[in-house]
Chain A
């Protein structure tokens, strides 16, 4: 459990948050550029001090100004990955990865150099100089270096922002793997909804220095009352597992609570945990099941709420599947919404054209 109360005036805004993050998994601080995400991260690390603030990680008090406690950065069980890798140019990759590790008392080394190197796939780079590495390689070294200090809390400040799509794809699996580590909480700062959808279990939505909403990723991204990135990116994240395979057709059934989706076989075994993203633009609504449709995923649901979309011709509709465990967002035209008389409580079929498997 991570609890923080921080207030720090900045030029354009005042950071003013009271955070409660779950002890396990990945929490995303999500919001537009300049909303205070990075400042918040720096306060958690101890790189900046919000006067009167309080930071408690797993019962360990890192800052409590009321009691005069401020643990300096180098005594906190924290790892930080900055937006630019910020490697030490005077050391080779091994020197960088071992820099923090060798400063830990041996009894506190829960992560070995070999593990950190393997998780990030930088084994072949160990003798290289940082100057000769690509952006993606540098960032993987930075992640390995931060992991090697066995942090309780790993803070990542838009580690992918400076990279192109191919480099991102190279690093994302490494970051995903972190979520599986015990005794590690990842706090991931991002303004990219796709990264948040893929990596986060818990999301804190930030705006102008304040945390305007927080919750599980599936819950938060389906809310219609939040200033979440509307438009093309609106959609929900669902978590479940591979339920069945239809080998002759190269299809797999992905089960999430209250719904199943047939999709092309992702080459994962039955029972494998998966995360799905369903975009609102890929979901349409119908009053009845459509047996004559090519859309295989037709899911009975109940309309829960309707909200304006970015364009006046469209609305976003939130529907809850039977059993009530999962929600979907559907984008339909305002005209259709009226023709179908969509209203909260109405039983509908969600026609899901495609789903994206995130991991």
Chain B
């Protein structure tokens, strides 16, 4: 193994994290909006489901996904029927798995930010001729922007750092599913400690820088589910 393998792993990791973050923001924002405003009895079960990756061992999630997306799983049969083929051990499969794994890190800060806005600015917007979509796009989103930025940063960083799910669903295929964390694992297995050190240091510095940025953005409060998330300054 050499430096170009490592570089490939770094590049793949960044690509994965970017794709996952963009997709999660697109899907997680409406979900967060719904969770913040619904009075449906499905709110609690859905919230629990979204938060599950926070407590579930990644291998459990990975295992179930492997079963679902495998040749005999429901999703696997569907993807085969659609001509997409099987998702496990592919970049697409890694994206799907990472999205589920990082979901709470994106949904919760945005949801908290939406909740902190309260009903009044949206009511005021409604009396100013703004329809539902305009209230969301021109009032709620800008007021929740700090929550959205926090969500994007956390979602990205969390995806960069995942290992268990990747190993279960993606394996260790160079250029397709071999990310920094699995490459690091390979180095350690092969007793290539200098190379392992290099990758570990990259992840450490990156993670610290991300968290530093998040806390700078929002000086107090916990990272996830803090009421201060994205709240407009009074």
Contact of A89 among B129, B138, B233 (CB under 8 A): B233
CA gap between A332 and B126 in the complex, in Å: 52
A-B pair count, CB < 8 Å, reads 64
Interface size on B, residues (CB 8 A): 20
Q: How far is the CB of A289 from chain B (nearest CB, A)?
A: 55
Q: Does A237 contact B (CB under 8 A)?
A: no
- Which residues of chain A have C-beta atoms less than 8 A from B145's C-beta? 90
- Max chain B Cβ within 10 angstroms of own Cβ: one of A72, A82, A99, A149: A99
Contact of A73 among B120, B121, B127, B142 (CB under 8 A): B127
CA gap between A89 and B140 in the complex, in Å: 11
Q: Does A47 contact B (CB under 8 A)?
A: yes
- Which residues of chain B have C-beta atoms less than 8 A from A90's C-beta? 142-143, 145, 232
Contact of A45 among B127, B131, B233 (CB under 8 A): B127
- Which residues of chain B have C-beta atoms less than 8 A from A87's C-beta? 124
- Which residues of chain A have C-beta atoms less than 8 A from B124's C-beta? 80, 82, 86-88
Q: Does B134 contact A (CB under 8 A)?
A: yes
> Dominant SS at the B interface?
helix
Given A82-B120, A131-B234: A89 touches B143 (CB 8 Å cut-off): yes
Given A84-B120, A89-B143: A73 touches B126 (CB 8 Å cut-off): yes
A120-162: which residues lie under 8 A (CB-CB) from chain B?
131, 145-146, 149
Q: How far is the CB of A13 from chain B (nearest CB, A)?
A: 22
Q: How far is the CB of B131 from chain A (nearest CB, A)?
A: 5
Given A84-B120, A89-B143: A78 touches B233 (CB 8 Å cut-off): no
Q: Does B137 contact A (CB under 8 A)?
A: no
CA gap between A304 and B138 in the complex, in Å: 59
Q: Does B128 contact A (CB under 8 A)?
A: yes
A52-106: which residues lie under 8 A (CB-CB) from chain B?
72-75, 78-80, 82, 84, 86-90, 99-100, 103-104
Given A89-B232, A90-B232, A131-B233: A74 touches B142 (CB 8 Å cut-off): no
Q: Does B86 contact A (CB under 8 A)?
A: no
Task: Tell me whether A100 and B233 are in contact (CB under 8 A).
Answer: no
- Which residues of chain A have C-beta atoms less than 8 A from B129's C-beta? 74-75, 100, 103-104, 149
In the complex formed, the residue of B with least CB distance to A99 is: B128
Q: Does B130 contact A (CB under 8 A)?
A: yes
In the complex formed, the residue of B with least CB distance to A46 is: B126
CA gap between A80 and B232 in the complex, in Å: 22
Q: Does B203 contact A (CB under 8 A)?
A: no
- Which residues of chain B have C-beta atoms less than 8 A from A86's C-beta? 120-121, 123-124
- Contact string against A for B residues 110-129, beta-carbon threshold 8 Å, 1 for contact and 0 otherwise: 00000000001101111111
B2-43: which residues lie under 8 A (CB-CB) from chain A?
none
Q: Does B211 contact A (CB under 8 A)?
A: no
Q: Does B68 contact A (CB under 8 A)?
A: no
Task: Tell me whether A74 and B130 are in contact (CB under 8 A).
Answer: yes
Q: Does B139 contact A (CB under 8 A)?
A: yes
In the complex formed, the residue of A with least CB distance to B234 is: A131
Contact of B128 among A72, A75, A89, A103 (CB under 8 A): A103
CA gap between A64 and B5 in the complex, in Å: 70
| Given A82-B124, A88-B139, A88-B143, 11 new contacts (CB under 8 A) | A47-B123, A47-B127, A74-B128, A74-B130, A78-B127, A86-B123, A90-B232, A99-B125, A99-B128, A103-B130, A149-B127
List 14 A-B pairs, Cβ < 8 Å: A47-B123, A72-B131, A74-B129, A74-B130, A80-B124, A87-B124, A89-B143, A99-B138, A100-B128, A103-B128, A103-B134, A131-B233, A145-B128, A149-B129
**3 cross-chain pairs, A with B, having the tightest CB-CB distances, nearest first:** A100-B128, A103-B129, A73-B126
